[in-house]
A = this chain, B = another copy of it.
Amino acid sequence: MHVVKNKTQDQVEVAKGGLLDRRRFLLSGATFLSVAGVSQIASQSHAKDFSKFPDHMLTPGFPSEDYGVPSEYENHVKRLPEEVYGSAIITAAFTPLDQLNGIITPAGLHFSVHHNGIPDIAPENHQFMIHGLVENALKWSVEDLLNYPMVSRFHFLECSGNSAPNIISDKPLDWTCGHIHGQISGSLWTGVPLKYLLDEAGIKPNGEWAMCEGADSANHVRNIPLKKLYDDAIIAFYQNGERIRPDQGYPMRLFCPGYEGNMSVKWLHRIEISDIPSQSKDEQSLYMDVTSDGRIRQYSYTMEVKSVITKPSGKQGLPESGLYEISGFAWSGRGKVNKVEVSADGGKTWANAHLEGPVMDKCMTRFTIPWQWDGKETVLVSRATDEFGNVQPTRADWVSRFARFSHGHNNSINSWHISPEGKVSNIYV
């Protein structure tokens, strides 16, 4: 473990609770590197004692696989399946955020929500059509669309219900970061800009809305303003380089950057252009927010600015006081992350974390800050600001704006309690 027993001149506090100046910290080679857990090697002849070599250095290894898989020693790193509302019909699988790093989620660990299971769609049995208020109602085969010009963009995808446990439960649940916040993942999405296809069909003057329907047996439908589809929506065929997988909408999905996940309709097979939204069943129930004054907020698409610390986080432990790197990620459905502040004293004082570049539009951004933990009880908090000045609200502020049972679009500040024993657990601040 990373422990420096005594502070030195290179450890300049930038906020209370032991948050350190990163630049000076990183320049301080010798200081940083006084690590308790590291062994001095008594004799350099160690390297020449072949009897001590492990078996894997003395016997040939195994061959490459056609399609590789993770190490058997990492098979605890998996998605966290959950039945939402106790039903098997709507199921969700969460990304184990606390086991990952960087801003890319492997497709095998991407979160997934589906309302009636994942359909098994052979590409030759799938077509895509645009009809309604258009000059030419058109349909395409998957093969047709794969020949259209494509763009590639790094984006997050987040479920509107992400982090709902922190709203639903009056007391903070002692769960992992992935279990609470794991309905967000990051990928490179590659596909055809939807504007090409809309222009091909030719939108009639009164066409303003697009009813987007998936080919799953839940018949998932969302209504989206045409402007969004023209701005930056794509039909995605590739995720992180390879064709998207069944639970991400194979053979094709809509992708609406920055919007709640369910707008990026999976298994997309139909867009009907209309003058008004068609009010689909989920838009009349599941995907509405109820505000504290009893009003309905419908078509609340954008996922607002948010952040979460993944290390240390719930159910992890700090073995002893000393030096640690706090790491997490931030995102905003409105654009780029501009700033992430971290507090090591429960929100009284704050320091700016380092943002790992490139900081991209509507994309996860990793942040880090060095932290000297003094071994006392404390609370770690992160607070993100996006390029338009939007700031993560406190939980109390967020809760005051919505009805008690409304839990979508929770972008409130997240906090982790550190006990003197180094136990990390979820807490509301």
A252 vs chain B, min Cβ distance (A): 11
Distance (whole angstroms) from the CB of A353 to the closest CB of chain B: 12
Q: A44-B137, A109-B67 are in contact. Are A57 and B217 (CB under 8 A)?
A: yes
B132 touches A44 (CB 8 A): yes
Closest B residue to A131 by CB, please name it. Answer: B44
Q: In the complex the two chains form, is B57's CB within 8 Å of A106's CB?
A: no
**A399: chain B residues within 8 A (beta carbon):** none
Q: How far is the CA of A84 from the CA of B308 in the complex (A)?
A: 47
Give bound CA distance, A250 to B73, whole Å.
9
Question: Which of B132, B139, B195, B368 touches A149 (beta carbons < 8 Å)?
Answer: B368
In the complex, per-residue mask of A42-78: 1 if CB is within 8 Å of any chain B CB, else 0: 0010110000001011111111111111111110011
Contact mask for chain A residues 79-115; partner B; CB cutoff 8 A; 1 contact, 0 none: 1010000000001110000011111111111101010
Q: Does A293 contact B (CB under 8 A)?
A: no
CA distance in complex: A199, B10 (Å): 15
B242 and A100 contacting across the interface, CB-CB below 8 Å: yes
Interface-centre pick from A1, A73, A79 (highest chain B CB count, 10 A): A73
CB-CB contacts of A239-255 with B at 8 A, as 1s and 0s? 01111011100110000
Q: Considering the chains assembled together, what is the distance between the CA atoms of A238 and B104 in angstroms?
A: 10
Query: Complex Cα distance A103/B242, Å?
Result: 10
Judging by beta carbons under 8 Å apart, are B243 and A324 in contact? no
* Contact indicator A68/B109 (Cβ below 8 Å): yes
Count of chain A residues with a beta carbon within 8 Å of a chain B beta carbon: 118
B64 touches A91 (CB 8 A): yes
Q: Which residues of B contact A149 (CB under 8 A)?
A: 26, 325, 368, 370
Which chain B residue lies CB-closest to A120? B56
Q: By the criterion CB–CB under 8 Å, are A70 and B101 in contact? A: no
CB <8 Å contact, B217 and A60: yes
- Which of A33-41, A169-177, A337-345 lies on the face that meets chain B? A33-41
Across-interface contacts of A325 in B (CB, < 8 A): 147-150
Q: Which of B1, B29, B60, B99 contacts A199 (CB 8 A)?
A: B29
CB contact between A140 and one of B38, B117, B216 (< 8 Å): that residue: B38
Complex CA gap A197/B93 in Å reads 38
Q: Chain B's nearest CB lies how many Å from the CB of A203?
A: 10
- One digit per residue, 1 when the CB lies within 8 angstroms of any chain B CB and 0 when it does not, for chain A 147-158 equals 111111000000
CB contact under 8 A between A62 and B102, given known A108-B67, A108-B68: no
For residue A123, CB closer than 8 A to chain B, the reply is: yes
- Complex Cα distance, B118 from A137, in Å, reads 54
Query: B56–A216 contact, CB under 8 A?
Result: yes
| 5 closest cross-chain pairs (CB), A and B | A61-B117, A33-B200, A29-B199, A64-B93, A66-B78
Chain A residues with CB under 8 Å of chain B are 1-2, 26, 29-30, 32-33, 35, 37-41, 44, 46-47, 54, 56-74, 77-79, 81, 91-93, 99-110, 112, 114, 116-123, 125-126, 129, 131-132, 136-141, 144, 147-152, 186, 188, 190, 195-197, 199-200, 202, 215-217, 219, 237-238, 240-243, 245-247, 250-251, 270, 272, 324-325, 327, 356, 358, 360, 366, 368, 370
Q: A32-B199, A63-B91, A64-B118 are in contact. List 5 more A-B contacts (CB 8 A).
A: A38-B140, A39-B140, A54-B215, A61-B216, A151-B356
